[in-house]
Amino acid sequence: MKGETLYRLLADNLPRRAEKIALIDAGRQVSYARLMTEVDRVASWLVGQGVAAGDRVIVHVRKGIDEVAAMFGALKIGAVVVNVNVQWTPTQLAYVAGDCRASAAILGTTGAAGALPADLPLLIREGKKLPSVAARWDDLAETEVAEFAPEPDSLAMIIYTSGSTGMPKGVMLSQRNIRIGALAVAEYLDLSEDDRLLSVLPYSFDAGLNQLTTMLLVGGTVVHQPVAMPSEVIRMAIRHAVTGIAGVPPLWNQIARYLRDAPTPLPALRRITNTGGKIPPDILPLLPQVFPGARIFLMYGLTEAFRSTYLPPERFAAKMGAIGQAIPHAQVFVVKPGIGLAGPGEQGELVHAGPLVSMGYWERPELTAEKIRPCPELASLIGDTPVVWSGDLVRVDADGDLWFVGRMDDMIKTLGFRLSPTEVEDLVSKSGLVTDVVAWGVDDAELGQAVHIAASLGPDATEGAVMAHCRKAMAHYMVPRRIHPWPGAMPRTASGKLDRPAIITACKALL
């Protein structure tokens, strides 16, 4: 059915919004009609290369209008989009292209071409000397292409994980997954066609993709900001009268501090949203101060279940840090394995059911069966319907709102206690002495595991001051046995989160 395809999120804006601005880059903007023309140019090239419905197409283009046109050009002919972040290494790009058996690739520059098979058809936006198999974007003809209408449950996109703990694995999202995700988020954020969302998060990240799809659904405008610098984010927000900004905790950390030191009115801003982890507890109270009048949405999701929970902004002041309850059209449960559902005050693993559950991992049936499987504790409610086991430990409060505790496989076992790294990080952050912090456990003969932290120290802060705060604010078993000072900002993944495995590995190498 045409009405349930991902491509239709864009196409259904015509003809009514033909002249409305759909996308804005730093030096360029396009209307919905002009964007559709670019989409057809890409689709026509793909058809000419023999790409058909179900074939995988790599999109490796810097955030912007061209990236969106490339994705929807592939979607129009029923191909599967595999968006690879431009920050990924050539090795990662080559692996993804081979793993998904790509039929074509659309690149921003010639720089990445050398990582791909020599016979893979390439479409390249910029570059002086193109490989023999490549076409130049500017040479594409403006030819309208017939739309292919895939089934709603067919594969639309493959989103690859960062691969920080191994080679990337591809999460398969259906047409329906992404469309329902757009419907759900647009509903609880109360989005409309007069909204302008600032897009900082990459489209290769499910939360970033959802920003684009929600705006296309309601006929709004996306303002692209590919550089996650606080000053540039705020400058673009002012320049284009942005009504919404989405970010991950490290970005909100930087923006809140920037606006605290340089207060800047943002009269058009209606809402800000967070996903991808917990905002540090010293930053949460700053948000209403630096964004007065804006509604603050704390959200949670994972790629395997696309979008999951949110905390209504009316409860932000009373429940700073909570991830709330299920978004519309989603089902979430907190399970105590072998026992049943967790009640108020109890902890358990967060599991996900419903139409947002992904199709699993690309060509990895064993891994899919391990991650997405029936839950015996839910048999009386949903039967043997497979659910996504998140691996995240959460707590249920008296109102049914959820609080993220930590990754179950990251728990630190010290002196007989099970300790969440997140809890340690939160308490360290409350000192106001650090900008970034990561905690983990190191094997210890006497303690079981010793708590270590890596911390980017703030101006005039010292290791001694941080340790003194920890001894005062923490239970004895939580106090770090070692602080690893980190010079400058900590490394981020392509989606903007702290790259915990890289940080921990670097610190361990110095032990």
CATH number of the domain at 425, please: 3.30.300.30
Query: 367 and 439: one domain?
Result: no
Residue 188 located in a structural domain: no
Query: 300 and 388: one domain?
Result: yes
Query: 37 and 156: one domain?
Result: yes
Q: Are 184 and 207 in contact (CB under 8 A)?
A: no
Count of CB atoms situated within 10 Å of the CB of 100: 20
d(Cα 215, Cα 197) in Å, to the nearest integer? 8
Q: Which residues of the chain have pLDDT under 70?
A: 1-3, 162-166
Q: How far apart are the first and last CA of the chain?
A: 58
Residue 208 located in a structural domain: no
Q: Are 145 and 44 in contact (CB under 8 A)?
A: yes
The H or E element that residue 159 is part of is strand 155-160
Query: 386 and 443: one domain?
Result: no
C-alpha gyration radius of the chain: 23
Query: 265 and 317: one domain?
Result: yes
Closest CA to 150 of 248, 80, 226: 80
Domain that residue 345 falls in: 227-406
- Inter-CA distances, 470 with 170, 225, 378, 483, Å: 40, 37, 41, 11
The confidence score (pLDDT) of residue 159 equals: 96
The confidence score (pLDDT) of residue 162 equals: 67
The confidence score (pLDDT) of residue 325 equals: 97
The confidence score (pLDDT) of residue 123 equals: 96
To which residue do tokens 């009115």 refer? 265
The confidence score (pLDDT) of residue 303 equals: 92
The confidence score (pLDDT) of residue 164 equals: 44
To which residue do tokens 């239709």 refer? 8
As for how many domains the chain has, the answer is 3
Listed residues 406, 434, 461: the one ending a domain: 406
To which residue do tokens 């998904």 refer? 100
Residue 233 located in a structural domain: yes
d(Cα 478, Cα 456) in Å, to the nearest integer? 19
d(Cα 96, Cα 91) in Å, to the nearest integer? 9
Query: 54 and 164: one domain?
Result: yes
- Whichever domain contains 399, its CATH number is 3.40.50.12780
The confidence score (pLDDT) of residue 252 equals: 95
Predicted confidence (pLDDT) per residue in 453-481, tens digit: 999 999 889 999 999 999 999 989 899 99
Q: How far is CA 431 from the centre of its chain?
A: 28
The confidence score (pLDDT) of residue 478 equals: 92
Predicted confidence (pLDDT) per residue in 369-423, tens digit: 999 999 999 999 999 999 999 999 999 999 999 999 988 888 898 888 888 899 8
Query: 278 and 293: one domain?
Result: yes
Residue 83 located in a structural domain: yes
d(Cα 410, Cα 438) in Å, to the nearest integer? 12
Encoded amino acid at 71, one letter: M
Residue 473 located in a structural domain: yes
Query: 332 and 460: one domain?
Result: no
Query: 283 and 364: one domain?
Result: yes
d(Cα 356, Cα 123) in Å, to the nearest integer? 32
Closest CA to 74 of 4, 166, 152, 10: 10
The confidence score (pLDDT) of residue 488 equals: 85
Residue 382 located in a structural domain: yes
H helix runs in 20-100, sequence order: 32-48, 65-76, 90-99
d(Cα 259, Cα 261) in Å, to the nearest integer? 5
Query: 401 and 428: one domain?
Result: no
